[in-house]
Every structure is written in structure tokens, then in C-alpha cells.
Amino acid sequence: MNKSGGRQWFWLVTFCIVGILSIGRVRSGSIVAAQSSASTASTGPAFTGDELLESYRHVEVASVSDALEQLTGRRMYMSHKMQPIFPAKFAGFALTVKLAKDEGNKDPEALSGMLAAIDEGSAKSVWVMVVEDGADIAGMGGLMGTTMSARGYAGAVIDGGVRDVGHLRKIGFPVYATGIVPSTSVRHYRFAGANIPVQCDGVEVRPGDIVAADADGVVVIPRAKAAEVLAVAQEMDFKEHSMYSIIEKYKSIREAVKRFGRL
């Protein structure tokens, strides 16, 4: 073979090799991009904490409760005993506190940990307090509520009583509690911990979980499931709100359920 022919074969082979490598890189890049897209699709959109709370403020608690049951198989709503002192709707991150019974104690520092927890709580928190056997004990009142309001808390949920409701209504600070009573926790209870897992009216609440409330009651959304639950609840809301006009038009709930599959 002459030198000219050899050079031609050299460049032909080189061209083929470069082409094959280039195709491999393109295909590899496409696979990585596809995997990245699939990963994003499977995990859903990423939300900041503020975005999650804003969205939960605009979805109905009943839909959130249904979504939680569908996705977790658990009851994550509080019972009928948990009632608001005035109509309210809020969502925030749980700041959990527990009070333990300590009848007749004269320790001036017995509740100091509770006060510190209030002062250290951040804006958009929901004060979730469990008062041991506290149906007839006010876990919080006007002083605590005023502090929470000033610090930008979203609201409070008390497995126990609440007092000073006239003042709390006046300042517009929303509280859900199992009763309204005039009693005090001073000399009857001791601070037993903050930012710990608690059972509030039978529902597990962990620090940082989302607590949402409206006229239908209170639900607790585990933080790790918050985005997934939100997406399902929003879809449920959309279907239910779309069904109203169908029901009014056809005067039939069966027709609406057949169209949207929501009840």
C-alpha cells in the first residue's frame, strides 16, 4: 500500500472511532438526564418550609385528613373534643411541650422550662401542648397567648384547657383546646420537656411536623410526607369543588361521584 492510501485509511479509522465515542457520550448524557428527570418526577417538586405552609393554609383540613389516611393508613386528625375558641384557619410547624402532674409543688422553677420554650419559639410555630390529665386545667392563657402572638406563632393546640379566652379573642390569637376552664397549672404541674415527640389528643406529633387547622378540626402532617400529602389533598380539593356545580346542575350526587370519583 502506498503512503497516500495509508494516510486515507488512518483518517477514516480515526473518524469512525471519534464518531462512536461521541455517540456514546450523547447517549450517556441522555440517560443521565432521563434518570434525573425520573428522580425529580418520583420525589415531586421541592418546597421550602414557607411554601409548604402557604399551600397548607389554602387547602381544606378534611382533604388533608383524607390524603393522610390514603397515604399512611393512619388517623392523623384530633378528635371532636379539640375545639377552637373562635373560628380560625392556620398552618405551622409544631413546637411540642409537655406538662407532668406534680400536685402541691412549691418549686418556683417548676414551669420555667415552659416559659423558655415560648420565648425561644420561632415565627410560624404552632404551640402543641400536652397537659397530663389536664381536661380541667388551663395549659395556657392570655399571657402566654400574647407572647406567642407577638412572636408570630401561627396558633396553639392544647390537649388540656385554656383560659382568658376573652383576651385571646380580642388579640385574635387562635387556640384549639379540649375545654375552657378558669384553673391554673401553677403548683399543680411541672415542665416535662419541649421539642419532644408527644401524643396530643391521641395523635403523634413530632417537632417540626406541620399542624393545620380550620373549622373542621386539626390534623398533623409528618414533615417527611408533607409534600406528597399536599399534592393529594390539593387534587381532592379540586375534585370536590368541581362537583358542586355538577350536583346543582343534575341534582344528583351519584352523577358527580361518577364523574370525579370523590366522596
**Residue among 179, 186, 145 nearest 159 (CA):** 179
Condensed to tens digits (0 to 9), the pLDDT of residues 19-35 reads 434 434 433 333 233 33
Condensed to tens digits (0 to 9), the pLDDT of residues 177-233 reads 999 999 999 999 999 999 999 999 999 999 999 999 999 999 999 999 999 999 999
Return the SS3 of 38. Answer: helix
Grid cell 361521584 in the structure block, residue: 257
- The cell for 222 is 409528618
Condensed to tens digits (0 to 9), the pLDDT of residues 88-146 reads 999 999 999 999 999 999 999 999 999 999 999 999 999 999 999 999 999 999 999 99
Report pTM.
0.81
**SS3 sequence of 68-115:** HHHHHCCCCECCCCCEECCCCCEEEEEEEEEEEECCCCCCCCCCHHHH
Condensed to tens digits (0 to 9), the pLDDT of residues 36-69 reads 333 333 344 567 889 999 999 999 999 999 999 9
